[in-house]
Structure 1
Amino acid sequence: MTIFRPMAWSLSIKLPVIVCLVVVGVAAVIGAGVVGKDRIELREALSDNARLLARWVAASAAEPMLRDDSWSVYRILRQVTFEGGGGETEVVTAMVLDREGKVAAHLQPGENPIGLPLVVHGDSEAKLLAAALGAHAPMVHEDEDGKFVEGVAPVFAGGKYVGVVRVRLSTRQLTEATREAALVVLALALGLAALGSLVGIRLSLGAVRPLRRLADAMALLGQGDHAPVSIKGGDEIAQLGESFNQMAAEVAEKQRLERELAQSEKSAALGRIAAGVAHEVNNPLAGILNCLSTIKDHPEQPDLVTRYLPPIEKGLHRIRAIVQDLLVEQRAEHASELCGPECLDELRDLIIAEIEGAGITLDWDNRVHAPVQVNRPRLQQAVLNLLKNAAQAMPDGGCLKFSASLDGGLLRMEIEDTGIGIAEEDLRHIFDPFFSSKKSGTGLGLWITLRLLNSMGGGVEVTSEPGKGSIFSLHVPVEGEGHGPAQQ
């Protein structure tokens, strides 16, 4: 689901969310700083209060302790609880100990009788007691759980150390104040989040709508619609819209020029083919007409029919060969089929019959073992044309090599001969219709081969060196296990 993939959200959702998160984050950081600062100040105030109370009790209890008047010391502690402490719930406990650690007065006398050592529970309390008995000046201690702060003040009477005062104040009010401040910050953050969402929505409406119009226009541009998009304003989005309109106009103009160029090239190609057909057909046709004219002008010589019939038949066969070559692509089947290794190996038997007695050795290396989906007639026609051309390029014999293999989704083939080779100036023309360096050729074989390969989405590359031979490298997309679809 896209709700769990933020990267897939639309900009109209992302922008308000980002603004909201930024506002909430800033509010949270500022609020945390304020709450933390207030908590520190409140704790310092609580510590100062505990220290002052302990000092006040120490000053008030000095004389009663000299008289060993525990009741007066207890009354002073009670006075601290109700008057100096600011409320009974604020003071956790208070006590006065003599210098030996025995209780001189305690707010809970039932648990800590006068004259007996202070009852200590746990290591934490023992550490606090030891620190208090060792104090020679007013100080503040905190427990490990942060539930109270303890003000400690030594008691001096007549210049002598006679005991110590311990006053514990609860941190409950501090915790409640911190919680209230945190709630205020949370409410402020929620309010700012709502405000940020509104601002984000307003910004998204102003930014996303023109961007969406641009996206729709780009989609239509891909379908051939070059209509301009209207975006008002002078900001970057409006400038982007102007750039898009300029690009769309340039694309439309480019496509128009490409269509005109393609039409011109098509017309030129048709003209060249028509001229070539006219030239190639006209030569044998002229010979046929001459033979027929001679026979017609000399009816008294019946032997002329026997004499001129073979050249007439030869000329007609040549005309038929030209027409068949031109129509070979139309005769090829358009449907692809599943072909195994035999699809290419069948051509080996055909070419062996072609080169028999010509002094040509055949090196056949077909490494295509898995069946593939391909247009079988077109593939075989193209490969066979090149194999025959390679054989014809070795009139004095030589070596004809063929290899085939699968490379991803491509069927790669290579046909190599050790024949006469192709001149460098002829390489650029060998695939032109009616171009041939052979006296008996029609000049259509390689042109048809290239068209067959192109119709399957493939192609061919040629390297050649005069006197040493040529290499034709073919590639055709195929469909099979792990391969993409073949071109039809």
Structure 2
Amino acid sequence: MFRNLSLRYKIPLRTSLLIAITAIAVSGSLMYGIYHDLKYDAQQNAERVSRILTHSLKPLLLRDDVWRAYEAIASPLQSSGEKSGYVIDEILILDAQQQVYVSSHPKQHPALAAFARIYPRLSQLNSVISKHREGAPRAVEIVQSGKSYMVTPIVSDEVFLGTLVMGYSSSTFLPHFYDIAWRSVYTTLIVAAILLPLSWFWAWRMALPLTQLSSSMAKVGAGSSLPEPEEFRLYESSDEIGRMSGAFKRMLCDLKHKESLEKQVLISERLAAVGRLTAGIAHEINNPLGGMLNAINTAKRHGSMDPQMQKTISLLERGLLQIKNIIGALLVEAKLQSHPLTVQDIEDTRTLVLANAYDKSAELVWENDIVETLPLPSTMVRQVLINLLLNAIQASENYVHCHICYDCGSLIIGVKNDGKHIGQEQMDYLFEPFATGREEGYGLGLWMTYQIVSQLNGMITMQSQPGETQFSVTLPVEMHA
């Protein structure tokens, strides 16, 4: 389950776990050190008291002054406490035979009683007392009883006089330790409470570029078409994630270009197939149509018909002529024998469409940069220009802009208007016959334009956005020079 989580959750959770482990480890090591330091301090205090008592007891033992020895060992019992880090429970002075010489608790440890009989179960302590007859004080911890004993030999002029045994609780320092431990835990919790939100924010910021890139990559294969690169808000920088985002954008642009090329190829192939089919059907219709028109013409010249028959024949003739015009539009053929394109041919086209612009109340902005004759079939170029201008005038709201120029060995025609936006669905079938977005017309103008441009080895493109639609035609000139 954790493996399938998003990085926006994985990174914060791992960071939080790391902070928790670090806090536990630091607090544990700190409390471990404090525990041993307090335990060591208690042992050092007990050793210091033992040394002082041993020094003061030497002359008393030499004089066999039992009462003064008792007073000497009773004083530490009254001054010890939790504030000093240790609490002395009992103090005994043993003679050289390990018998009680004097004790802080005479009833429990009567004089001349063998120490081994008083504490028969403390074999470890008895062993240390019997063997430790010189040197520094030695601590003995009895885990079962929870007490520790400081065993100090009393030696005067290399003569062993006895042993001082001081018992104190091993857990005397624990209240102080618990107080320090709780304060350490509280401090750790406060620091963790500050660090955890900061770590979540930092981890979220660090994971954000990756999640943005992941969601962007998911969008690429989610729909039927590739999204635009501008739709993505990716992290941009010179680090690894920024370079990855830049590479993804470049890949998306390449894919968009490839998709556009594939779409253009599909549209060209479809239009070519439709053109071949349409031309074949038009030829098949054109042959019997010509025969019917000839028959009507012969009947009108040589036949005697009453007025009703003449009216019927006229209706048939008009209908057949309309069909002939449609068929003629579908059978576009380049008439290369027409004269080259002159400046006057282009200006005549403007004159022809001015009346339509006036009827539509649209302003025609005209820019003609052609100043010399071009080796292009004037009839076909004029037909292309007229079709584009008429379509633009019909679709316009206020103005139509036409720019004609010669650049890089090609004639370039640009016609744009401020009419209704053309959607992508309509663009895919825009140059097919009978594809029209208006109630009037047959939808053959752009079809004829496309066929003429294709025959002249040119290219026609269309761009549409709200408030502006533009058709661009590029016709190479060198091929017809």
Bigger radius of gyration: 2
Q: Scaled by the length of structure 1, what TM-score is found?
A: 0.48
Q: Scaled by the length of structure 2, what TM-score is found?
A: 0.49
Higher relative contact order at CA 8 Å, sep ≥6: structure 1 or structure 2? 1
